[in-house]
Structure formats: structure tokens, C-alpha cells
Structure 1
């Protein structure tokens, strides 16, 4: 089953890069929002959305359907139904 995946990331964040690599290596189609590369208006909107989902505003923030997940590879494999 195809799940909606959205990643809030920073272009310079090493952990964010690992999450993007994990998604790419597992052929997961995700909406990736690199907040620091957006113009100021888009950035404001993205941070406002992120704050609703993750009040700590930490990066990376990965949302799979309605579940908020950080970079916990085991949890990601389970929620995305990826066999190891």
C-alpha cells in the first residue's frame, strides 16, 4: 500500500541526508521540504506547519500518513512495511 510520506529537512543537516538516502534506497516517494532553501514566505509557512506536527521543530521530521517519525530506521521499516 502506498503511504503518504513528507520530510521536513535542512539541506545542510547530516541526519536529514541519511533519511533522504534511506528513502531513495528503498524507493519511497516522499515530498521533501528543505526548509532552509525556501524563500522567506514559504519558509514561514513550512515552519508553521512543522510546529503543528512537531512543536520542538527538530530536523529531520518525517511524517508517514499521520505518524511522526524521526530517523529510527527500524521504526521506518516497520511503518513503511519494508522487509529487511
Structure 2
């Protein structure tokens, strides 16, 4: 199974769509709700997101170290294995 991490904001509607897509396809993932972290941890995590996704947008979805963000087609391809990897 591919390692999937979703950096999300708890109030973000687009983030909810990504989580729903993964849940609907029974894809396990690590969820990090950045806005619900303690201040220090939030700062560190925000910096990590910015390293992976310079735009700093949410959701930032990482599949096997590949940044997907919110590109539903790329996410489906990468997570569901339709991209040949």
C-alpha cells in the first residue's frame, strides 16, 4: 500500500473532498489537521508543508513523497495505481 499523508485544515471544504475520495476508496492515510495542532507544532508543520508545497495551500497531499495537492485525477491515478507506479 502506498504511503499517503494529507495536510489539511479542519474547516477546508476542498480538504474534505480529498478525505472523502480516500475514504470512499478505502485508502488508508495519515491525516494532519494543521489548524488543530498546538502552536509550536503548527509552526513546524506549516514550515514542512511550505517545503513540500511552496504555495502553502491546503490540502497538500503527499503520496510516496510525490506532492499531489488537490488534483483529483492525479490523486486517483497515484493512489489507485493507475499511473503505472
Scaled by the length of structure 1, the TM-score of the pair is: 0.90
Which runs of at least 4 in structure 1 moved beyond 3 Å after TM superposition?
A: none
Secondary structure of the 1:8 match is: strand
Structure 2: 5+ residue stretches without partners: none
Q: Could you tell me how far apart the structure 2 residues matched to 1:63 and 1:48 are?
A: 15
Secondary structure of the 2:6 match is: strand
Q: Could you tell me how far apart the structure 2 residues matched to 1:31 and 1:16 are?
A: 13
Structure 1: 5+ residue stretches without partners: none
| 1:58 counterpart residue number | 57
| 1:40 counterpart residue number | 39
Evaluate the alpha carbon distance shift between residue 71 and residue 61 of structure 1 in structure 2; reply closer, same or farther with a 3 A threshold. same
| 1:14 counterpart residue number | 13
Q: Could you tell me how far apart the structure 1 residues matched to 2:63 and 2:16 are?
A: 17
| 1:68 counterpart residue number | 67
Tell which deviates more after alignment, 30-39 or 64-73.
64-73
Shift of 1:81: 2.5
Shift of 1:71: 2.0
